[in-house]
Amino acid sequence: MLAIGILYLVFDSRILGSSENISPFSRVVIGAQTGLVALAMATTWSSITSIQAKQGLPIGTQVVGWATFGMCVLSAIRLTTNFFNSSFAYDTLFA
């Protein structure tokens, strides 16, 4: 997935055709998601090596893992529902 994200960012004009380019906001979102994939891969590798060495799971790896998971969930919610900009969210949170 990391390679596909990077390739898409590099060759987007060839994939979509020269007349259509993705917006700068879309490039930022795709770049952020690709970065989160890379961060998740690095955290998973670090966790595996620590556990295989019978050193336990370092606290830094746990924090980064949970933070990455949280960012992925929040970005998915934000991009799919527009929850945070709706009046429903305001009524729900501050009623």
Domain locations in the chain? 23-94
Determine the pLDDT at residue 49.
92
Sign, CA torsion 71/75/81/86 = positive
Determine the pLDDT at residue 81.
65
Whole-prediction pTM: 0.62
Please state the separation of Cα 36 from the chain's center in Å: 4
Q: What is the pLDDT tens value at each position of the chain, 95 positions in all?
A: 778 888 877 877 777 776 566 777 777 878 888 888 888 888 889 889 999 999 888 898 889 889 888 888 887 777 666 655 555 555 555 54
Q: Which residue carries 């924090």 as its tokens?
A: 63
